[in-house]
Amino acid sequence: MDLFKVHSIENAKKRILEVFSDLKIETEKIAIMESLNRISAQIVKSKINVPHFNRSTVDGYAVISGDVQGTSESMPMMLDIIGESEMGKENSCEILNGQCIYVPTGGMLPKGADSVVMIEYTEIFSEKSIAIYKPVARKENTMSIGDDVLVDQEVMEKNEVIRSKDIGVLASIGVKEIEVYKKPEVVLISTGDEIVEDIDNLQIGKILDINTYTIANLLKASGAIAMKTYVVKDEYNQLKEIITKSMTEADLVIVSGGSSMGEKDNTAKIFDKVGDIGVFIHGISIKPGKPTIVARGDNVPLIGLPGQPVSAMIVYRVIVDFLLQNVFKTIGLVEKKEKRILDRNVFASPGKDTYLMMRHYEEDGNLFITPVYGKSGMINLIAASTGYIIVNEDLEGYRKGEMVDFYYFI
Amino acid sequence: MDLFKVHSIENAKKRILEVFSDLKIETEKIAIMESLNRISAQIVKSKINVPHFNRSTVDGYAVISGDVQGTSESMPMMLDIIGESEMGKENSCEILNGQCIYVPTGGMLPKGADSVVMIEYTEIFSEKSIAIYKPVARKENTMSIGDDVLVDQEVMEKNEVIRSKDIGVLASIGVKEIEVYKKPEVVLISTGDEIVEDIDNLQIGKILDINTYTIANLLKASGAIAMKTYVVKDEYNQLKEIITKSMTEADLVIVSGGSSMGEKDNTAKIFDKVGDIGVFIHGISIKPGKPTIVARGDNVPLIGLPGQPVSAMIVYRVIVDFLLQNVFKTIGLVEKKEKRILDRNVFASPGKDTYLMMRHYEEDGNLFITPVYGKSGMINLIAASTGYIIVNEDLEGYRKGEMVDFYYFI
């Protein structure tokens, strides 16, 4: 246990990657329709050519390009219309020199044709005869077999986020299922002698549990699952029992509360007992959020978050979401960020990344943010802020009027 | 039917808001745990005071502030310790002048105490006696009943996106359920004589359906539900029957394909027949995506998207997502946007908002984007691009080296 060294965020992330580098992440095969925002665990290669027949990319007349060379507005070429290609149907026509057929966009080219003249550059003279006013090059306005996707061509890499457009690409080559990383299942334990789950138990001295609700929903947004939640007293044996049991069921165990170094803080002590490696980070250089624990219990990462709700949410963003993305291959939080103008000076503690809660507003077309202050743990601090800014550890703050990156809460 | 006027995006949005202003949007009561990214359909007021007892915000000694006025490092005040406040428990102590008790952060203050001296400014002399080295003001380091949230205080407005932190706020005042707008249920119809659902039916002349997959997943990302999907031939009677039936089941009907003004394009003709208002937008000034239809059939919005997959996705972003957010009160797409450097000149069609497909990459620490070109409808165009830029209708393009807003695909 490495209790007294506070880790920089960068160093903490590096240690997390090292310590969990051998963790085996499970995969599963799922329907592509359900694969949005999952991460591919396989390369996908096409089993078909796209298109699998020669097709026109415009509405027009399929011709032999040599027939219409040298044509112009004043020197059209007359061709015989010998048929029509119907949308969605095989076309068994064959054209010879001096002949053409009508083809709609996406329609199949007849044998013999090597190009299509757009309908705009033609004029029908009779049922059987058409004037062509513009030459075409070989292959012009057509797509040949495999022009778009060839058999065995790679259409999706491994370890990529699957977007809606990727699902469209997979559908276009007839792939119905894809191997992705499983969503990590997380047990969430909210601990503290004063915390209760239900308003009926809200005796004097107690407060209602918040972290289970915020963290479970942040997990959902990161692409993980809060499979089980507990609210327990900060009592060594009971907490140890639940953590030990959770390690056999979950991919990740998160405890909020009891993460400081006081006499009554049991989280780190238990994390150190239950696994081979135990605690390897206790304390990170972030404000609020310093009392953060990262440990390894056999094959399960264990994380201790500060009990104070704002701190827990910030450490979630910085540490838990990082672990989920990089170790468990989830999409992670997609935070909306924009530059906004600070409406007053703000100060921070040098040597720590300081997270300041902010509220955004607009005035005279300008995008402002204003700091929201409140005693640690106040509901109003959470309720009144809509996002946050980060003051880097080497800065002392920002001045009124500066443009700062503002992150909206998820 | 207003067939020949192409609407600007702004005008199209204005018309959509007007035409659907009387649409009744249903609400439902759901568990707060499941309310992430839903939109509140009620105001929430607190039924309790937070805190509901006077508590300390630090670890320290609860005192009567008058007792410690004028103390300093060199002039400490000695107080009698008469007890301890236990975390999570009611505290029935009462202190008199010259007395104090230990209180942990969040612990209940004893009767008589009006402030707390932080433990750092105290020194224990015996089990019963302590030196105080710093004065405190009345209320310092404490929170009184209702200081944070008062009974009847509004903690959530109507028509707000519910974030994870809001769920925490609701939990903190014992609210377990909240009224939200129902997720709109959408029927999605992909039409075209050449389109098939299954690779086993991929005869010569056919192509596999893409739009059902991309649009269903964009709907999911917008906070709507693709309740039913159909792939049908572009045949008037069959299409009309499915649209009519869908109008009785769904909140919104989307048809992709058949949205142009050709002889075989049935979507607009049917939309005009099935409802009282019919088509009020046919054609918007966007490239690609011009052949877009918006109609009203009785109480259901009807949208016709271009069949070409890239166009359908772009019109989804511009029109469908706007309708979902503003008429149906869904969260809508949360797109990641960032400034990136164009690595070559790009040109657009003035008079239209032009969407150009791009791929992002990094070189020497610079964030670049490069245009992806491809014939309309090519899978490769979709597969190779990772996002897009918008060239506004009054611009002709952008120059190599310009910083441009790049939107990542969802």
Residue A332 placed within a domain: no
Contact B213 A171 (CB under 8 A): yes
Contacts of B355 in chain A (CB under 8 A): none
Please indicate, yes or no, whether residues A233 and A297 belong to a single structural domain of this protein.
yes
The DSSP secondary-structure symbol of B34 reads G
Please indicate, yes or no, whether residues B130 and B157 belong to a single structural domain of this protein.
no
Please indicate, yes or no, whether residues B195 and B64 belong to a single structural domain of this protein.
no
Confidence class for position B4, pLDDT limits 50, 70, 90:
low
Q: How many CA within 13 A on the CB side of residue B399?
A: 2
Please indicate, yes or no, whether residues A93 and A13 belong to a single structural domain of this protein.
no
Query: Most A CBs within 10 Å: which of B58, B164, B321, as the mutation test of the A interface?
Result: B164
CB-nearest to B88 from A87, A88, A205 is: A205
Q: Pick from B326, B346, B374: which residue ends a domain?
A: B326
Contact B264 A87 (CB under 8 A): yes
The 3-class secondary structure across chain A, one letter per residue, is CCCCCCECHHHHHHHHHHHCCCCCCCEEEEEHHHCCCCEECCCEECCCCECCCCEECCCEEEECHHHHCCCCCCCCEEEEEEEECCCCCCCCCECCCCEEEEECCCCECCECCCEEEEHHHEEEEECCEEEECCCCCCCCCEECCCCCECCCCEEECCCCECCHHHHHHHHHCCCCEEEEECCCEEEEEEECCCEECCHHHCCCCCEECCHHHHHHHHHHHHCCEEEEEEEECCCHHHHHHHHHHHHHHCCEEEEECCCCCCCCCCHHHHHHHHCCCEEEEECECEECCCCCEEEEECCEEEEEECCCHHHHHHHHHHHHHHHHHHCCCCCCCCCCEEEEEECCCEECCCCCEEEEEEEEEEECCEEEEEECCCCCCCHHHHHHCCEEEEECCCCCEECCCCEEEEEECC
Please indicate, yes or no, whether residues A128 and A259 belong to a single structural domain of this protein.
no
Find, among A165, A148, A169, the residue nearest to A44 by Cα. A169
Q: Number of structural domains, chain A?
A: 4
What's the gap in Å between the CA of A64 and the closest CA on chain B? 20
Instruction: Compute the average pLDDT of residues B114-119.
Output: 96
Residue A85 placed within a domain: yes
B5 pLDDT more than 60? yes
Q: Looking at the complex, does the CB of residue A36 fall below 8 Å from at least one CB of chain B?
A: yes
Contact A212 B171 (CB under 8 A): yes
CB-nearest to B205 from A108, A155, A213 is: A108
Q: Looking at the complex, does the CB of residue B258 fall below 8 Å from at least one CB of chain A?
A: no
- By residue range, what is the domain housing residue B60? 55-143
Which residue does chain A place closest to B89, by CA atoms?
A205
B257 pLDDT more than 90? yes
Residue B250 placed within a domain: yes
Contacts of B216 in chain A (CB under 8 A): 33
B1 pLDDT more than 60? no
Residue A103 placed within a domain: yes
Q: Looking at the complex, does the CB of residue A92 fall below 8 Å from at least one CB of chain B?
A: no
Residue A350 placed within a domain: yes
Please indicate, yes or no, whether residues B194 and B208 belong to a single structural domain of this protein.
yes
CATH number at residue B88: 2.170.190.11
Contacts of B205 in chain A (CB under 8 A): 53, 86-91, 107-108
Which residue does chain B place closest to A165, by CA atoms?
B214
Q: Pick from A280, A301, A326: which residue ends a domain?
A: A326
Structure tokens at A6: 């506070």
Size of interface A-B (CB pairs under 8 A): 216
Residue A375 placed within a domain: yes
Residue B187 placed within a domain: yes
Contacts of A148 in chain B (CB under 8 A): 378-380
Q: What does the pLDDT read at residue B275?
A: 82
Please indicate, yes or no, whether residues B208 and B315 belong to a single structural domain of this protein.
yes
Q: What does the pLDDT read at residue A54?
A: 96
Contacts of A215 in chain B (CB under 8 A): 164
Q: Looking at the complex, does the CB of residue A261 fall below 8 Å from at least one CB of chain B?
A: no
Per residue of chain A (410 residues), what is the pLDDT tens digit? 445 578 899 999 999 999 999 999 999 999 999 999 999 999 999 999 999 999 999 999 999 999 999 999 999 999 999 999 999 999 999 999 999 999 998 999 999 999 999 999 999 999 899 999 999 999 999 999 999 999 999 999 999 999 999 999 999 999 999 999 999 999 999 999 999 999 999 999 999 999 999 999 999 999 999 999 999 998 999 999 999 999 999 999 999 998 887 777 899 999 999 988 999 999 999 999 999 999 999 899 999 999 999 999 999 999 999 999 999 999 999 999 999 999 999 999 888 999 999 999 999 999 999 999 987 678 989 999 999 999 999 999 999 999 999 999 99
Residue B1 placed within a domain: no
User: Are B173 and B48 within 8 A, CB to CB?
Assistant: yes
Please indicate, yes or no, whether residues A300 and A213 belong to a single structural domain of this protein.
yes
Contacts of B379 in chain A (CB under 8 A): 50, 148-149, 155, 169, 172-173
Q: What does the pLDDT read at residue A121?
A: 96
Structure tokens at B243: 């649209």
Please indicate, yes or no, whether residues B170 and B195 belong to a single structural domain of this protein.
no
Contact A89 B205 (CB under 8 A): yes
Residues 133-162 of B with CB under 8 A from A: 143, 148-149, 155-156
Please indicate, yes or no, whether residues B230 and B271 belong to a single structural domain of this protein.
yes
Structure tokens at A213: 């609700």
CATH number at residue A361: 2.40.340.10
CB-nearest to B216 from A33, A202, A385 is: A33
Q: What does the pLDDT read at residue B377?
A: 72
Which residue does chain A place closest to B196, by CA atoms?
A88
Q: What does the pLDDT read at residue B6?
A: 85
ipTM score assigned to the predicted complex: 0.93
Q: What does the pLDDT read at residue A303?
A: 98
B376 pLDDT more than 70? no
Q: Pick from B275, B298, B326: which residue ends a domain?
A: B326
Residues 266-295 of B with CB under 8 A from A: none
Q: Looking at the complex, does the CB of residue A392 fall below 8 Å from at least one CB of chain B?
A: no
Please indicate, yes or no, whether residues B21 and B33 belong to a single structural domain of this protein.
no
CATH number at residue A195: 3.40.980.10
Q: What does the pLDDT read at residue A376?
A: 64
Which residue does chain B place closest to A215, by CA atoms?
B164
Contact B149 A264 (CB under 8 A): no
Please indicate, yes or no, whether residues B404 and B365 belong to a single structural domain of this protein.
yes
Q: Looking at the complex, does the CB of residue A188 fall below 8 Å from at least one CB of chain B?
A: no
pLDDT tens digit sequence for B133-181: 999 999 999 999 999 999 999 999 999 999 999 999 999 999 999 999 9
Residues 223-242 of A with CB under 8 A from B: 233
